[in-house]
Amino acid sequence: MSTCGRELLFLIAARLREEREKIGESQGSIAEKFGVSTRTWGKYERGETMPDALTLSRLGGELGIDVTYVLTGQKTPHAVDSISMEEQKLIENYRAMDEAARLNIQAVGDAFAQSKLKLKTGN
């Protein structure tokens, strides 16, 4: 493997460890969840080998690890994670509406937001 390839593997390993620590998992517990030995997981985090695509996908889906960040170093915005279930339901309903209904909902939302703003400012 080239020096550049080794450096990339080392960076991926470091970010994988960072993400694991961020969610509070030990190497042993995460290895068990994903059906690999602690030794194998240690190799992932030392940059000796790399998890397969299925493992990376499961890390993102089951534990919320930012796999894009692990692989590229670029953080993925988690807009969906920062909204409530109520907000998600509103978005789903909005997307199911036709254009006229959307315009009505936007007008109602604007009216409520303006009235709330007026209450806060006392105007």
pLDDT tens for the chain, 123 residues long, are 677 888 999 999 999 999 999 888 999 999 998 889 999 999 999 999 999 999 999 998 888 888 999 999 998 875 445 667 787 788 888 888 898 998 999 999 888 888 866 666 665
Report d(CA 39, CA 71) in Å as an integer.
Answer: 21
What are the residues whose beta carbons fall under 8 Å from the beta carbon of 58, sequence distance 6 or more? 34
DSSP 3-state of 51: coil
Report d(CA 37, CA 85) in Å as an integer.
Answer: 36
Taking the model in full, what pTM does it have? 0.60
Domain ranges of the chain: 3-76, 83-121
CATH architecture for the domain at 3-76: Orthogonal Bundle (1.10)
Residue 101 tokens, joined = 């209904």
Report d(CA 75, CA 77) in Å as an integer.
Answer: 6
